Amino acid sequence: MEYFLQQLINGVTLGSIYGLIAIGYTMVYGIIGMINFAHGDIFMVGSFIALMTIILLGITALTPAFILLAALLLVLVLTMVFTAVWGWTVERIAYRPLRGSFRLAPLITAIGMSIALQNFVQTSQGATNKPLQPLISGGIKVIEGIVSDRVFVVQLSYMQMIIIVTTLVLMAAFTALISKTSLGRSQRACEQDQKMAALLGVDVDRTISLTFVMGAALAAVAGLMFLLYYGVIDFYIGFLAGVKAFTAAVLGGIGSLPGAMLGGLLIGLIETFWSGYFSSEYKDVAAFSILVIVLIFMPSGLLGKPEVEKV
């Protein structure tokens, strides 16, 4: 039981990170029907920007707790802003010129962009792992007990708490943004009928750009969390995280925001439980097998709407 709880906490933490990245995939797919394969690498760029900001601000584990939290908040904001600029630029130079071209064209540039970003970071930052000493250590003991003469502790580290809380806050804010504000409304309008939205005076290009900006900002948050949680990043982390998050988006029903969050959580949980109970080598196989099984029975994902033929 204690073991289960511990795995649950770990799984939710990992799932939060996947969920944040998955939102970027699902939003872009929703609005222009394209899979942005470079999104995982935007996440990677985000984690590098976070690392640089942390080093530049001189934050170390010795910084007093209160200042540390304030500084990390500043890092969060800066990372979001700079990564958003990257997201905007990628859309502007690689996708917008191809809008209106045939469907596969932006897909190919997306893959190209992904490789370009990886190689750019590899050559400019070096191919070695970039470590960061743990900034936030410690945690609280949720359950402490004795199971067959062994002391068993279920621990929720402060880092995990920060990740889960930040994700919850951001997702709530984001859902409100999409459902309540004028920007969110025009975004949903563009999802349904771009031409009609334009005829009502909505600047479709700008709305699409803002979608990329928001997706990149959320990926940046995931990048920072990943960096703080695992303490090591390299130029290649975007690939696997990107594929997992994409899987999460498809599992939840691509195009659906709550679906992306749910899918991220599920993928995180499946992975953690599989490595916890069976073997950690096959955790990816487990996650992708579940995806295959779900898609066989629910082709549009868990929360996705079945595609309606437009007449």
Partner 1 sequence: MSNWQKNPILTIEHMTMRFGGLVAVNDLSFDVGRKDITALIGPNGAGKTTVFNCITGFYKPTEGRLSMNRNSGQEYLLERMPDFEIAQKAGIARTFQNIRLFGGMTVLENLMVAQHNTLMDASLFTFGGIFGISSFKNAEKQAIENAKSWLERIDLIDRADDPAADLPYGAQRRLEIARAMCTEPEILCLDEPAAGLNPNESNQLNQLLHKIREEFGTSILLIEHDMSVVMEISDHVIVLDYGEKISDGTPDFVKNDPHVIAAYLGVEDEEIEAVEEEVKKEKSS
- Residues in contact with partner 1 by CB under 8 A are 173, 177, 181-183, 185-186, 188-189, 192-193, 195-204
DSSP state of 94: I
| Contact status, residue 134 vs residue 231, Cβ threshold 8 Å | yes
Assign residue 284 a region (left: φ > 0; alpha: ψ between -120 and 50; beta: otherwise).
alpha
User: Distance between CA 155 and CA 152 in Å, rounded?
Assistant: 10
- Cβ closest to partner 1, residue 13 vs residue 194: 194
- Cβ closest to partner 1, residue 159 vs residue 217: 217
- Tell me the closest approach of the beta carbon of residue 212 to partner 1, in angstroms: 15
**CA dihedral (224, 174, 172, 249) positive or negative:** negative
- Tell me the closest approach of the beta carbon of residue 97 to partner 1, in angstroms: 16
- Cβ closest to partner 1, residue 99 vs residue 188: 188
- Tell me the closest approach of the beta carbon of residue 28 to partner 1, in angstroms: 18
**CA dihedral (230, 236, 240, 241) positive or negative:** positive
- Tell me the closest approach of the beta carbon of residue 282 to partner 1, in angstroms: 40
- Tell me the closest approach of the beta carbon of residue 59 to partner 1, in angstroms: 26
- Tell me the closest approach of the beta carbon of residue 80 to partner 1, in angstroms: 13
- Cβ closest to partner 1, residue 192 vs residue 279: 192
**CA dihedral (29, 33, 37, 41) positive or negative:** negative
- Cβ closest to partner 1, residue 56 vs residue 305: 305
The end-to-end CA distance of the chain, in Å, is 53
User: Cα–Cα distances in Å, from 6 out to 10, 78, 146, 292?
Assistant: 6, 33, 15, 27
E strands in the chain: 130-131, 139-147, 150-157, 232-233
- What's the burial of 225, exposed, middle or buried (CB within 10 Å: 0-12/13-18/19+)? buried
User: Distance between CA 186 and CA 183 in Å, rounded?
Assistant: 5
User: Distance between CA 215 and CA 226 in Å, rounded?
Assistant: 16
- Cβ closest to partner 1, residue 96 vs residue 188: 188
- Tell me the closest approach of the beta carbon of residue 29 to partner 1, in angstroms: 15
- Tell me the closest approach of the beta carbon of residue 73 to partner 1, in angstroms: 16
